[in-house]
């Protein structure tokens, strides 16, 4: 009985070693980082989900990409909402348009950086690069949370219901925009989890974050 157990253990060990050797010999795809193809028309970075060979990582980056698109879309909607409010004569809305524009520029850049670093880090197997993306993602999540909550300046979060109580249309839009930011916050949190958990190398958060 002991000999049989030893034989089984040896067989399993040999099989595992064989699989490991085959995996190690599998050629890794070469990524041409100079092939700038994203975003469309601007072509500032290289992005191709097929560069990711691990399904979990491809799924995580796909989520990250869609969450980023949703964030940019909501930033545009917030800008347009403030334009409409200014046209309707709401006090200080002209200044709020500028704030909304600044938010669009800054958050779009930070969100794009987060998305690209997460993608690049997973492709290269670099925990340091992936961590940079996740740190930036944390900043984006904070902004999304504030957009969902605040009801001052250009923000139309849940606290804006009091400010917009004299306008039914503004109240309805506040509920729509707040709910959208809330859904986006959940999406961004899922992205953080998926990217962090799919990294092939463990990400150490302390003592340094960069």
pLDDT in the model for residue 127? 87
Secondary structure letter of residue 38 according to DSSP? B
Rounded distance, CA 120 to CA 73, Å?
23
Q: For tokens 């097929």, what's the residue?
A: 50
Half-sphere exposure of 134 (CA within 13 A, CB side): 25
The dihedral through the CA atoms of 106, 108, 112, 114 has a sign that is positive
Q: Write the CA distances from 175 to 149, 158, 160, 171, integer angstroms.
A: 11, 7, 9, 6
Q: Is the pLDDT confidence value at 26 over 50? A: no
Rounded distance, CA 170 to CA 157, Å?
11
Cβ neighbour number for residue 197 with a 10 Å cutoff: 11
Q: What phi and psi, each to the nearest 5 degrees, are found at residue 175? A: -65, -40
Residue 22's pLDDT band, with cuts at 50, 70 and 90, is very low
pLDDT in the model for residue 8? 45
Mean per-residue pLDDT over the chain, rounded: 85
pLDDT digits (tens, 9 = 90+) for 30-87: 777 888 888 888 888 899 888 888 899 999 999 999 999 999 999 999 999 999 999 9
């Amino acid at each position: 009985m002991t000999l049989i157990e030893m034989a089984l253990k040896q067989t399993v060990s040999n099989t595992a070693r064989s699989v490991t050797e085959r995996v190690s010999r599998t050629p890794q795809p070469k990524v041409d980082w100079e092939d700038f193809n994203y975003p469309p028309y601007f072509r500032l970075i290289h992005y191709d989900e097929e560069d990711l060979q691990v399904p979990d990582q491809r799924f995580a980056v796909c989520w990250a990409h869609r969450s980023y698109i949703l964030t940019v879309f909501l930033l545009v909607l917030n800008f347009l909402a403030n334009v409409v409010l200014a046209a309707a004569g709401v006090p200080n809305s002209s200044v709020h348009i500028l704030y909304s524009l600044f938010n669009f520029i800054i958050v779009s850049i930070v969100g794009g950086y987060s998305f690209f670093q997460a993608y690049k880090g997973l492709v290269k197997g670099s925990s340091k690069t992936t961590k940079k993306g996740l740190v930036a993602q944390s900043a984006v999540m904070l902004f999304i949370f504030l957009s969902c909550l605040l009801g001052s300046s250009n923000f139309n979060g849940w606290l804006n219901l009091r400010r917009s109580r004299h306008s039914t249309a503004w109240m309805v839009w506040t509920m729509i925009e707040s709910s959208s930011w809330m859904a986006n916050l959940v999406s961004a949190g899922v992205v953080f989890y998926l990217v962090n958990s799919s990294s092939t190398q463990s990400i150490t958060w302390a003592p340094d974050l960069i």
